[in-house]
Structure 1
Amino acid sequence: MTDRQKRLLILGGSPFQIPCIEYAKSKGYYVITCDYCPDNPGHKYADEYYNVSTTNLQSVLKLSRKLEIDGILAYASDPAAPTAAYVTEKMGLPGNPYKSVKILSEKDLYRSFLRQNNFNTPWYGGFNNLKEFAKSSSQFSYPVLVKPVDSSGSKGISAVNNFWEMDKAINYAIKFSRSKRFIVEEFIEKKYPQLDGDIFVYDGKIIAYYLGDQRNDVAVNPFVPSSINYPSLLPQWVHDTIKTDLQRAIDLLKIKMGGFNIEVIVNENDEVYLIEMGARNGGNCIPEIIKCASNVDMIKMSVDTCMGLEPSILEQKLIDSFYTTYVIHSNKDGYFKSVELDDVISKYVLDVKLMVQEGEEVLKFNGSNCTVGVGLFEFPDLQVRDKMMNNIEQLIKVELE
């Protein structure tokens, strides 16, 4: 390592983080990765790896000071986002306020922020156990959703139809919560498909906005997104309202920069709800499909910005085809053998990234931790896209041993 070579610490080494590591290396940075999973495939692309948990604020700060890093990035990792903000604040590196990122990373804090600032938000409560919830249960009308406060990737979510189902749902949520806390929130009936995608902020302003229409494999799990379609087919006023609300939230939180993963619901009264504002780029290859569709490279922008450079958008184009990122998954547990693509859909494939190897355990699709792979597709028109995606579970099959 030379004194002239700038050092970037990337929190994590999952398959979704590999494009970020590769881009940083291509820029000539000395790339260090850390997490508590030494077998994560991203680490072999880095110059150096440390077995340090990405959620341990003090340990990552200590490592960052020891390595004299020039930038730190929690790319596509919700749990690591507060850590990156904490380190940038302590070391004076490019980043966002720790307090704000913590609010965005814990659902009860985020819902409180929304309520206090007159955004639409579901009726909710944060709790530690069933006994606590029971004292407030009369405030809720069923069905409700039960969620871990600090999990991502739709893990640990249940719909509950009566009080007697709560104990099981709470235990399931707490299983995926680092702080062992959960929220119960009102179930909102959607008028349109849920919106999901990424925005990019620089100098406190939204400079790129790409939300697509989410789809779920309801036969397996109605709460885990299985695909996102671009461009969104929702009315323009919906997106204009979302942009206005997002910018107001960014202003209030004093957010300065970076990629943000956004989830939005529009209810039957045309009210917009900012369900999630994750302080990191989306997983499931969302930045990759956005680049395919629009030529806007949020991977590049994220690395550049955290290293103190102004992000550039070169040759941005209108989305003139129909693009989809699809999460390849199984409807049952087993051991991975292969993924079979029907010839009918093969000609529309831009890329297929597998996250598991032959013989590895595969779980039924109950969260992003159950992902087998991700397919990126380009379709020539809406009719073809709908025909393919309406039958996608038959056209892309996960073979198990």
Structure 2
Amino acid sequence: MVKNKGDMCLQGKKLLILGGTSFQIPGILYAKMAGYYVITCDHTPENPGHQYADEYINLRTTDLKGVLNVSRKLAIDGVLAFASDSAAPTAAYVAEKMGLPGNPYKSVKILSEKDLYRNFLLMNQFKTPKYGGYNTLEDFSNYSTEFTYPVLVKPVGSSGSKGISMVNDLWEMGNAIDYAMNFSRSKRFIVEEYIEKKYPQLDGDIFVYNGKIAAYYPGDQKNDIEVNQFAPSSINYPSLLPEKLHEKIKLELQRLIHLLKIKLGGFKTEVIIDGNDQVYLMEIGAYNGGNWISEIIKCARNVDMVKMSVDASMGAEPEIQSQKEMDKYYTIYVIHSSKDGKFRSVKLHDSIKDYVLEIKMMVEEGEDVFRFCGSNCALGIGLLEFPNPDTRDQIMNKIGELIAVELE
């Protein structure tokens, strides 16, 4: 079903944005401002982003052939999966089939499916945890003696730390597999060894143009250990990792980009450094990160990842801005609940108000909320600014009290 809001912009170039959640809104708004005719597509008409588009397609973003057929009928000029992991392969598929700006579908598929990605890393001599990909508990049982516990069980084809469990022995494996399969689009899971981190896990975006890293903006990930040790509850910018390790990370990222023949776009990155200062490229996604990471990068560095991503997807050369020196410290805080219930409100303590740039809520009063098991359970995002790391640490150590979620 296609809903058309009018023909005022029909003479402009057409951009298909896959997804219409609140995370896609920055891309939609910039594309409109740039004069593009914006078409949004997903299977959730009530998503808030669609109201800003010129046209809406009610179709699953994972339907490769369906989205391609519609794209051909609409004669689109560009396609973008902004802040959407599940839509990234579709965007690559459509771009490849239609000769539009994008990246090789095969490469994006590798990045999007954890077992394929781990195999790619292994075959190309990147550091990677020992792993195996499986379909059932019985499949894994045949190889269980090859692993030393604890291990991590993860769904294939899922992001946002959804469906991840740490398992300490074989008896816990069944429940962990069931949990992972609830979030696995391909109905496969991987088991991998647990890597002890020397530093906080890096979480941020890079931007690639003409096959080269043009922008690199990682932050230091933090977790609410009492609620979920895997889902990031905040990301601090800039990363305080030693610069020599950032240079090492960039070299490995560039090598991956070269091997996969990546051409352009924003990429979400998650990187671990182990006790021997070895780099593990844990997750690389062919999409800009969610949680308004692009907005905090713009605040911190005056670099517009949204603009660059939209322009590149439309074949326009992106303006790679000179980054400003950071004289303040920034944090993305994922507002979340430690239990299930119905949302009432979020209350800001007076002591934090001076540090809040913006609070973006994604739920309304009376809506069901769930214990924070992954990014899908986020209630909102707080964009915070601090004068120095000490103040930031003092505030963030008690952030759950200062940005307090109240349930009915």
Smaller-chain TM-score bracket? over 0.9
Q: Please give the residue correspondences for 1:252-401 in structure 2 after superposition, counting only pairs within 5 Å.
A: 252-401=259-408
CA distance in 1, matches of 2:134, 2:116: 12
CA distance in 2, matches of 1:168, 1:46: 42
CA distance in 1, matches of 2:205, 2:326: 15
CA distance in 2, matches of 1:23, 1:359: 32
User: How far off its partner does 1:220 sit?
Assistant: 0.2
Quote the residue 2:111 is aligned against: 104
CA distance in 2, matches of 1:106, 1:319: 35
User: How far off its partner does 1:315 sit?
Assistant: 4.5
CA distance in 1, matches of 2:226, 2:261: 41
Residue 21 of structure 2 corresponds to residue 5 of structure 1: no
Which amino acid letter does the alignment assign opposite residue 265 of structure 2?
Answer: G
Q: Deviations over 1:139-181 (max 9, x none)?
A: 1000000000101111000000000000000000000011110
CA distance in 2, matches of 1:282, 1:16: 9
Quote the residue 2:4 is aligned against: none
- TM-score, normalised via structure 1 length: 0.99
CA distance in 1, matches of 2:249, 2:327: 22
Q: Deviations over 1:271-299 (max 9, x none)?
A: 11000000000011111100000000000
Which amino acid letter does the alignment assign opposite residue 244 of structure 1?
Answer: L
Per the alignment, in what secondary structure is the counterpart of residue 60 of structure 2?
A: coil
Contact map agreement 2:202 2:221 (CA 8 A) in 1: yes
User: How far off its partner does 1:3 sit?
Assistant: 5.3
CA distance in 2, matches of 1:68, 1:399: 48
Structure 1 unpaired stretches of 5+:
none
Residue 89 of structure 2 corresponds to residue 82 of structure 1: yes
2:180 paired residue among 173, 178, 183:
173
2:34 paired residue among 10, 13, 27:
27
CA distance in 2, matches of 1:20, 1:157: 29
Which amino acid letter does the alignment assign opposite residue 393 of structure 1?
Answer: G
Quote the residue 1:39 is aligned against: 46
Contact map agreement 2:10 2:37 (CA 8 A) in 1: no
Which amino acid letter does the alignment assign opposite residue 59 of structure 1?
Answer: G
Quote the residue 2:197 is aligned against: 190
CA distance in 1, matches of 2:100, 2:260: 18
1:236 paired residue among 238, 243, 266:
243
Which amino acid letter does the alignment assign opposite residue 227 of structure 2?
Answer: V
CA distance in 2, matches of 1:183, 1:261: 20
Residue 78 of structure 2 corresponds to residue 71 of structure 1: yes
CA distance in 2, matches of 1:318, 1:65: 44
Which amino acid letter does the alignment assign opposite residue 170 of structure 2?
Answer: F
Q: Deviations over 1:302-356 (max 9, x none)?
A: 1000000111123420222100011000000111111111111111111110011
CA distance in 1, matches of 2:310, 2:367: 32
User: How far off its partner does 1:394 sit?
Assistant: 1.2
Per the alignment, in what secondary structure is the counterpart of residue 347 of structure 1?
A: helix
User: How far off its partner does 1:202 sit?
Assistant: 0.1
User: How far off its partner does 1:50 sit?
Assistant: 1.2
Which amino acid letter does the alignment assign opposite residue 392 of structure 2?
Answer: R
Query: Percent identity, aligned pairs only?
Result: 68
Q: Deviations over 1:167-212 (max 9, x none)?
A: 0000000000111100000000111100000000000000000001
Which amino acid letter does the alignment assign opposite residue 349 of structure 1?
Answer: V
Per the alignment, in what secondary structure is the counterpart of residue 323 of structure 2?
A: coil
2:98 paired residue among 91, 96, 103:
91
Q: Please give the residue correspondences for 1:73-222 in structure 2 after superposition, counting only pairs within 5 Å.
A: 73-222=80-229
CA distance in 1, matches of 2:10, 2:289: 33
CA distance in 1, matches of 2:275, 2:186: 34
Structure 2 unpaired stretches of 5+:
1-6
CA distance in 2, matches of 1:29, 1:310: 15
CA distance in 2, matches of 1:359, 1:20: 29
Number of paired residues?
A: 401
User: How far off its partner does 1:235 sit?
Assistant: 0.7
- TM-score, normalised via structure 2 length: 0.97
Contact map agreement 2:234 2:332 (CA 8 A) in 1: yes
Larger CA deviation: 114-123 vs 387-396: 387-396
Per the alignment, in what secondary structure is the counterpart of residue 49 of structure 1?
A: strand
Quote the residue 2:3 is aligned against: none
User: How far off its partner does 1:270 sit?
Assistant: 1.2
User: How far off its partner does 1:4 sit?
Assistant: 2.9
Per the alignment, in what secondary structure is the counterpart of residue 271 of structure 2?
A: strand
In the TM superposition, structure 1's runs of 4+ consecutive aligned residues that sit over 4 Å from their partners are: none
CA distance in 1, matches of 2:186, 2:312: 30
Per the alignment, in what secondary structure is the counterpart of residue 177 of structure 2?
A: helix
Which amino acid letter does the alignment assign opposite residue 368 of structure 1?
Answer: S
Per the alignment, in what secondary structure is the counterpart of residue 263 of structure 1?
A: strand
Which amino acid letter does the alignment assign opposite residue 27 of structure 1?
Answer: A
Contact map agreement 2:154 2:165 (CA 8 A) in 1: yes
